[in-house]
Chains A and B, each alone.
Chain A
Amino acid sequence: MEFFIQILIAAVAMGTPLLFATLGGVISERAGVINLGMEGLMLVGALVAFVVMLYTGNYFYAVAAAAFASGIVSMIHGVVCLMLRASQIASGLALTFFGTGLSGLFGDKLMGETVEPLSRIPIPGLHTIPVLGPVLFNQDVIVYFSYLCVALSWWLLFKTRIGLNIRSIGEAPEVCDSLGLSVLSYRFFAVVGGGMLIGIGGAYFPLALTPFWVDGITAGRGWIAVALVIFAFWDPLKALGGAYLFGLALALELRLQILGIDMSPYFLKMLPYVLTILVLTLVTIRNNRRGIQVMPAALGKVFFRGEKH
């Protein structure tokens, strides 16, 4: 039983950076903009969080600075693929280069430095619930913040006027434009807001998981998050489940070895992606019958506003 709980605790720890990044991707893609530069943004967030933590020792400042910095960097993506109408996919790849380089450059002198990792704070009352208590309510403060972010982004997307506008713009930008919504402004803010969350995902590495700096500390998690946005069907609540499921896959790869179960790690790596394709196909078939779209219809498409003369 304790072994089982340890797996779940590890799944949450490994899933948390994925969760933030996925939420960021969901918001951005709901507005119709793909961000393939997540790995670069996470690295920028990780570096800035580490530096600020090193000099101020304040977790709040570190997270805020990470969000701010990756927000600024994602503005480049916004300008290039929204205002200058370049391919979102190509721009996202450029962003990966840019963020990886930027973090490596400024991380150069940080080898050997360490910070104090976040400690766990049990939530009174809740942490004694069997299984769920130690897994979900005896975590660090960034994990609790991630719950808040899930709830807030769900509320924002599905319960507010702004969210409705964002989603509509991701579905039918031309219609929204003719209704007087500024497609570009909404998209720009979705990209930047999403970028900030992605940066916080990166910040979780030096603040909690690995409290030091090495080049490429996120080790490809940004690319997993790109897939997770799809796995979550562009829904913040499903992002929570999806991120923990991917976290569980990472934790299981190690714990299956402890149990002596000889399962190929490479098939374990493939599994989530194959599952995503299968589920996506099934849901698309079902929704085709009902005439509902599963994904933002305008995702990845450049928006050309009717020309003015």
Chain B
Amino acid sequence: MQIFLEKRVNATSWARLLVLGAALLLVLLISWFFFLAAGIEPMAAFQIIGEEIFLTKYGWQDLLVKMTPLMFTGLAVALAAQMQQWNIGAEGQFHMGTFAMTWVALHYDGQLPDGMLIVLMLIMAMIGGGFWGCIPGFLKARFGVNEIITSLLLNYVAAAWIDYLLFGAWRDPGTNNFPITKEFSEAGQLPSFGNTSIHAGLILAFVFIAIVAWVLWKTKLGFQIRLTGDNPDAARYSGVNIRTLTILVFAASGAIAGLAGFSEVAGIHYRLQQNISIGYGYTGIIVAWLARNHPLGVVLSAFFMSIVFVSAEVLQIEFGLPISMVYLYQGIILFTVLGSDIFTEYRLRITRFLV
């Protein structure tokens, strides 16, 4: 007997949808066994998770709030990946975005006309993240240094830089010298919707997803990016300046990751503190991959990852599941989703005899 993978010929979108459905069923099945092993009645767990997430207004709020930074970081990674460039540095670009915008907020709060501060913060976050993204882009374009590695290493540098500021110059004596900055005034805060925690960052995320999708499929620049991703040689012959394009795409990718930081700080925390990102940059890689690097897919996969995170919290609170179980569960779910994705393109063929 031999088992091998065979490429689906003319895979229809229906077949893909079917596989996606099957993968979700598999996730549910594995969850079922996991809950049983954890001593939880699976049906009750599904019901409560479903109710908590989808049938309460708080559940929806939480989903949308958690999804916002993931849309940015997922989009950042996906944009670079359209050109076959791997930006593992969204985490660091996120941090440098928060750094640049906080610098503006701390120095120009109250000195600018109405509404200017938040716009300036937004621009600075893009510059901060974009600059941090430029470094691996430049090193790749100019010297051919692998971008996976440089962008990854820059994450550690950015995290230490934020700590340096929080434990040094930016520590606020007004808050008992804790390693947090001063709270921004209202001019530096993104508006929220009514009495919810959902903030304007969500809208911004959709806007940027639309912009990136438009650029990729409706402009010459987007065509060049996709062409370079598909076939760099063809792109080069058709006159694309791959070096410039690489730097540009990395800068844009970094700027979008920086916006994730902007949206979290200006939309939720209103100040810089430790651990603002809980690995959003890294999760963004998973989001982009699940979305097959398609900007619109990013919305769906960010939504899915958000459900995974929120249901983990529900499991802890409702069933007293320890955090270790939750991590284990998240690991298993991610492995399942990652592993089943291949069947949208391939199918298993089992033959009784060697062919």
- List the interface of chain A (C-beta within 8 A of B): 34, 40, 76, 79-81, 84-87, 89-91, 93-105, 107-108, 215, 223, 226-227, 230, 264, 266-267, 269-270, 273-274, 276-277, 280-281, 284-285, 288, 295, 299-300, 307-309
Contacts and interface: CB of A to CB of B under 8 A. Distances in A.
A145 B57 CA distance: 58
Contacts of A309: 6
Interface in B1-56: 4, 6-7
A273 B327 contact: no
B289 A308 contact: no
Report, nearest first, the 3 A-B pairs whose CB atoms are least far apart. Answer: A104-B324, A98-B331, A101-B327
B7 A307 contact: yes
A86 B339 contact: yes
Contacts of B112: none
A277 B154 contact: yes
* Secondary structure dominating the interface of B: helix
Contacts of A299: 146, 148
Contact of A273 (B154, B168, B289, B326): B154
Interface string B329-355: 111101100111110000000000000
A103 B331 CA distance: 13
Contacts of A284: 143-145
Contacts of A274: 157
A270 B285 contact: no
Contact of B157 (A91, A215, A273): A273
B153 A273 contact: yes
B203 interface: no
B334 A266 contact: no
A59 to B, nearest CB: 26
B324 A215 contact: yes
B325 interface: yes
A227 B156 contact: yes
Interface residues of B, number: 47
Interface stretch (B123-131, B159-167, B252-260): B159-167
A100 B327 contact: yes
A207 B282 CA distance: 31
B61 interface: no
Interface of B: 4, 6-7, 86, 88, 139, 143-146, 148-150, 152-154, 156-157, 160-161, 163-164, 167-168, 282-283, 285-286, 289, 322-332, 334-335, 338-342
Contact of B153 (A89, A102, A230): A230
Nearest to B138: A281
A95 B332 CA distance: 9
B150 A280 contact: yes
Given A89-B285, A270-B156, A288-B144, 10 more contacts: A76-B335, A87-B285, A94-B335, A96-B331, A104-B324, A108-B322, A264-B164, A264-B168, A266-B161, A273-B153
Given A104-B324, A280-B149, A273 B156 contact: yes
Contacts, number: 148
Contacts of B335: 76, 80, 91, 94, 98
A151 to B, nearest CB: 26
A103 B324 contact: yes
A107 B322 CA distance: 12
B327 A98 contact: yes
6 contacts: A84-B341, A94-B335, A101-B330, A215-B324, A227-B156, A295-B146
B341 A86 contact: yes
A90 B149 contact: no
B330 A34 contact: no
A93 B285 contact: yes
Q: Which of B7, B146, B163, B329 has the most CB of A within 10 A?
A: B146
A49 B146 CA distance: 36
Contacts of A273: 153-154, 156-157
A277 B334 CA distance: 31
Contacts of B283: 93
B332 A84 contact: no
A274 B135 CA distance: 12
Contacts of A40: 331
B68 to A, nearest CB: 20
Contacts of A264: 164, 168
A51 B136 CA distance: 43
B132 to A, nearest CB: 12
Contact of A285 (B4, B143, B160, B285): B143
A13 to B, nearest CB: 22
Contacts of A105: 322, 324-325, 328
Given A97-B328, A100-B324, A281-B139, A270 B160 contact: yes
B6 A94 contact: no
Nearest to B86: A300
Contacts of A277: 139, 145, 150, 153-154
A51 to B, nearest CB: 15
A256 B279 CA distance: 31
A79 B146 CA distance: 26
Given A90-B289, A215-B324, A267 B330 contact: no
Given A269-B156, A285-B143, A288-B144, A86 B338 contact: yes
Contacts of B289: 86-87, 89-90
B331 A94 contact: yes
Contacts of B329: 101
Contacts of A89: 86, 88, 148, 285, 289
B354 to A, nearest CB: 11
